[in-house]
Structure 1
């Protein structure tokens, strides 16, 4: 995916943890009292926590008032989702997850009924986020975050090559661990000279060689979005890769942090409907509702994320646009992660990471 694919006029916890191992392999059972009740609800896999609290007020309750359909959010790991699918008893209608995780179950997904949308104009959805069997929910980014007690915008590493040069630009560094679902392979390649529009398919041997160069300068590979912000806030790391939604929340809470947006990586949180969904029509209606202009723009302001529709982005204030990925900023300084590559290669990356971590 090249950086000129972001077609605006102007443009989590890691939303959902992608950890694929160490989780219980028993899918939860979601019971309904009778078939009539089942027809008037929709069950969505959701990250939970503060995310669900926002969406309950902004989306779930208004959706029920407009349609009579109750939304039931269920927190579920990828491992539990996999177990549920293998059992053949799909108790969830919609997945709300990272697009590269969703694509692991591509054959289990139903086509999205864009032609039946009533709340959203399908033509308003930006093309890089619109697919036959899944569609964007919101975007966020992996960025270079730093502690303002150590650096300012003129002294922080200006790009990933500078970040890698820890001898020239002193300061403790941190990067993402495999436990986050995807270590900073793209940033390792960019630091090694690969142009951001030539990243895919990722050259893993080259990436791990690059990671070996930076490893002596890394204080820790962080395993969660909360840990990355904590390290930056306390000075355990002066500069680190970090998820934009996480660091922006830290800044709102008064942490001495700032962002360098150069060479940022855009992540897509997305929706998909299962072929075996028990409430397929209700699921399609909820996806439609979630992509409406008001929902998209209001959620962006509450979650510090980017919308996936053109009109919602255009409705944002200039102040909010400065805080989120998208638009001219991403056209000029960022790129969209290739979900298809990660869906096919995450297991291989995990194996290579384990070997590299043990031997390097």
Structure 2
């Protein structure tokens, strides 16, 4: 063997030795841990009680939740440096990731704990499956409106009949409330999409003098209602229900609420695709969904879970039969197709 060959062989041995711990670590994690992107905070505590710890006891696979922004998810895939297995996020972000070719198909045919046919059909997609639904509702202060409250977005827009400072969602919250602006402008629920952006902004211009602030986080919307900075506003139902359960003088109407979806997807290049598939299967079980939906105050997507909840619990959740009759699903495909266009129009409008 030549001296050059010996040097190359030595470099190869050193490189292999250095790479071995990384490869061994990846293989070990692939078999023993699932890393999940989650919203974080209290959400992780609830999911650990009802999903992660029971899953670990059942399978021996640990679950590690981590926080990651949408931008980070996109960057991971583009850089071919996927650090997560399962993605727990809004279904709009998953649509974008699917279009990028980042997601693996959901292995419905290998489910053994759950039955795919029990999942609400429109929430069961090729590369994502919804784990719960939440909604944006019209909230009001009961003391301010003791003699009658708005029961529609047209009445929310009627500041003469229902005076007081209001709030609506900002673009930074995910999407501004263009749907509610169209409902206030007499557009029927089944004709909201495709959204007429100019018409929605004209409608918003009429109520804008009464908008104290456009909120960009769920925490801010809850604080504004709690502090009575506003007496009317759009807000996610879970955030509002937490305040109501703490005896805040607040209430809401289910009429014309917008149903939104939290869903699960799997990076196709994840270290533990198989473990992530098993975790989804486990999470979709009726009794598991009933447990975390009850605490989150969001609606299960396994139809069999509703039978495990009391009528009082179901009354607090979106997604059931009554909810589908009085509300509407946000069209996230339209939003992902038009987000940049809305963002430009919103930025111009909000600066006027």
TM-score normalised over the length of structure 2: 0.91
The alignment partner of 1:45 has SS state of strand
**1:332 CA drift (Å):** 2.1
5 Å-filtered alignment, 1:49-198, equals 49-106=41-98, 107-152=101-146, 155-198=148-191
- Report the CA distance shift for 1:160/1:88 in structure 2 as closer, same or farther (over 3 A): same
Are residues 1:333 and 2:322 paired?
A: no
Taking the TM superposition and a 5 Å limit, the aligned residue runs for 1:210-249 are 210-249=203-242
User: 1:289, 1:31 → 2: CA distance?
Assistant: 28
Alignment match, 2:29: 37
Gaps in structure 2 of 5+ consecutive residues: 1-21
Which residue of 2 is the match for residue 203 of structure 1? 196
Aligned to 2:18: none
Task: Assess, with a 3 A threshold, how the Cα gap between structure 1 residues 89 and 317 changes in structure 2: closer, same or farther.
Answer: same
Distance 2:29 2:335 in 1: 38
SS at match of 1:283: helix
Question: Partner residue of 1:275?
Answer: 268
Q: CA deviation at 1:46?
A: 0.7
Moved over 6 A (4+): none
Secondary structure class of the residue paired with 1:133: coil
Q: Given that residues 29 and 271 in structure 2 are in contact (C-alpha distance below 8 angstroms), is that contact kept between their aligned partners in structure 1?
A: no
TM-score normalised by length of structure 1: 0.89
* Deviation string, structure 1 residues 127-155 (Cα, Å, up to 9, x no partner): 12111110001011100011111114x61
Partner of 2:246: 253
Equivalent residue of 2:351, what SS? Answer: helix
Q: CA deviation at 1:34?
A: 4.9
| Corresponding residue for residue 14 of structure 2 | none
SS at match of 1:221: strand
CA contact (8 A) 2:37 2:88 kept: yes
CA distance in 1, matches of 2:128, 2:319: 20
Does the CA-based 8 Å contact 2:36-2:64 persist in structure 1?
Answer: yes
Comparing 336-345 and 326-335, the one that deviates more: 326-335
1:300-344, CA deviations, whole angstroms, 9 ceiling, x for partnerless residues?
111101000110022210001111112232232100111111122
- For residues 110 and 150 of structure 1, what CA distance do their matches in structure 2 show? 50
Q: 1:34 to 1:205 in 2, by over 3 A?
A: closer
| 1:244-269 deviation line (CA, Å, top 9, x unaligned) | 00000111122111111110000100
Greater fraction of residues in helix: 2
Q: Is the 8 A contact 1:104 1:344 kept in 2?
A: no
CA-based RMSD of the aligned residues comes to 1.5
Tell me the secondary structure at the aligned position of residue 135 of structure 2. strand
- Give distance in 1, aligned partners of 2:253 and 2:342: 27
SS in 2 for 1:182: coil
Cα 1:37–1:222 change in 2 (3 A) is closer
TM-aligned CA distance change 1:228 to 1:278, over 3 Å: same
Residue by residue, what CA displacement relative to the aligned partner does 1:100-152 show, whole Å, maximum 9, x if unpaired? 11111112111111010011011100112111110001011100011111114
Contact 2:287-2:305 within 8 A present in 1 as well: yes
Number of residue pairs matched?
A: 329
Out of 166-175 and 31-40, give the one that drifted further. 31-40
Relative contact order, higher structure (CA 8 A, sep 6+): 1
2: CA distance between counterparts of 1:134 and 1:31? 29
